[in-house]
């Protein structure tokens, strides 16, 4: 058996097209153009690439893109003042502060300063709490993309055993909340989990988000399981996921590749979140299929 490939690139392209259609409808019907502001402090090469690709995708979807590039030595007070201005700007519906931030800036203070309604990354503690209690929230982009891939692959997730390997605030915890909301039975596993391979082998859905290249081998996977690999690790051989893709493909029912799996969905979901934020800010219904 060879696992079906879950083509995140193709599915992200379809979602971006859907976003562009909804943006055009908001413009035509309500004179509303969703706007996304991206803030980059310093010149981290990887961050530069991400910011460029986000800006390009935003413009391609018909939205307004506002880029704010600040020097690496920018004081925290100046960054917080910029965020306050963006919070108050009605043309800006989404605010994304590119991480990591320089050492002199308190990441938690900055993420907490973004207005929850404009927090398209879904990192604000209010959005985390709303997601955990089943209320309307801005949902983190990577877990949202994973959920969309799973729904498309499996239809209903109700009653399925799901294991999320990794407990980060950015991926692991919100991923577990989203799976719970879709009535899966969820276990969050981590480095101190006893018999981690045995636990993973019980999963109908296995989400790997630990940041360790090829940690999860074929022996960790239940035959026929759906495997979502969130990991992007740079190795001497190139990019690798948290799952040993070649080995896992012989056991799993379906699997995301790295690259070309979850990554493209993250940016597409950022665009979708910006449309969601714009609709909510103007008292309009959120278009179906753009959020959880």
Same fold? 31-121, 141-263: yes
The one catalytic residue in 118, 119, 121, 222 is: 121
pLDDT at residue 1 is higher than 90: no
The one catalytic residue in 7, 78, 89, 98 is: 98
Average the pLDDT over 36-51 and give the result. Answer: 92
Per-residue b or e along 31-55, where b marks 16 or more CB atoms closer than 10 Å to that residue's CB: ebebbbbbbbbbebeebeebbeebe
> Which of the 8 DSSP states describes residue 258?
S
The separation between CA 53 and the C-alpha centre of its own chain, rounded to angstroms, equals 15
pLDDT digits (tens, 9 = 90+) for 140-197: 999 999 999 999 999 999 999 999 999 999 999 999 999 999 999 999 999 899 999 9
Residue in the structure block whose two tokens are 């990554």: 263
CATH topology for 31-121 is: Rossmann fold (3.40.50)
Structure tokens at 65: 């893109």
98 in active site: yes
pLDDT digits (tens, 9 = 90+) for 93-143: 999 999 999 999 999 999 999 999 999 999 999 999 999 999 999 999 999
Orientation of helix 262-281 relative to helix 141-154, angle to 10°: 110
The one catalytic residue in 7, 9, 44, 54 is: 54
Radius of gyration of the chain from Cα atoms? Answer: 19
pLDDT band at 237 (very low <50, low <70, confident <90, very high): confident
- Rounded to two decimals, the pTM is 0.96
Q: What is the pLDDT of residue 76?
A: 98
Strand runs labelled E in 71-204? 94-97, 161-165, 185-189
Residue ranges covered by each domain of the chain = 31-121, 141-263
- Superfamily for 141-263? NAD(P)-binding Rossmann-like Domain (3.40.50.720)
pLDDT digits (tens, 9 = 90+) for 4-29: 999 999 999 999 999 999 999 999 99
121 in active site: yes
Q: What share of the chain in percent tops pLDDT 70?
A: 100
Please state which of the ranges 33-37, 49-53, 147-151, 179-183 shows the lowest mean pLDDT: 49-53
């Amino acid at each position: 058996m060879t696992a079906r490939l879950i083509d995140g690139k193709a599915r992200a392209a379809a979602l971006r097209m859907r976003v562009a259609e909804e943006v055009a409808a908001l413009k035509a019907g309500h004179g509303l153009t969703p706007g996304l502001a991206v803030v980059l402090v310093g010149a981290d090469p990887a961050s530069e690439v991400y910011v460029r690709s986000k800006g390009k995708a935003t413009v391609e979807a018909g939205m307004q893109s506002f880029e704010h590039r600040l020097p690496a030595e920018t004081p925290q007070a100046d960054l917080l003042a910029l965020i306050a201005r963006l919070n108050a700007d009605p043309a800006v519906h989404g605010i994304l502060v590119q991480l990591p931030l320089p050492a002199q800036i308190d990441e938690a203070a900055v993420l907490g300063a973004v207005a929850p309604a404009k927090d398209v990354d879904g990192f604000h503690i209010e959005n985390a709490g709303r997601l955990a209690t089943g209320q309307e929230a801005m949902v983190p982009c990577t877990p949202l993309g994973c959920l969309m891939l799973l729904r498309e692959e499996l239809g209903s997730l109700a009653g399925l055993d799901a294991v999320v390997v990794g407990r980060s605030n950015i991926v692991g915890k919100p991923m577990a909340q989203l799976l719970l909301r879709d009535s899966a039975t969820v276990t969050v596993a981590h480095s101190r989990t006893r018999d981690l391979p045995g636990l993973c082998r019980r999963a109908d859905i296995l989400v790997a988000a630990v940041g360790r290249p090829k940690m999860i081998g074929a022996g960790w996977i239940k035959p026929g399981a759906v495997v979502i690999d969130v990991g992007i690790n740079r190795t001497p051989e190139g990019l690798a996921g948290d799952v040993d893709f070649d080995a896992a493909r012989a056991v799993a029912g379906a699997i995301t590749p790295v690259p070309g799996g979850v990554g493209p969905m993250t940016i597409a979901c950022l665009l979708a979140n910006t449309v969601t934020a714009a609709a909510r800010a103007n008292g309009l219904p959120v278009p179906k299929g753009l959020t959880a």
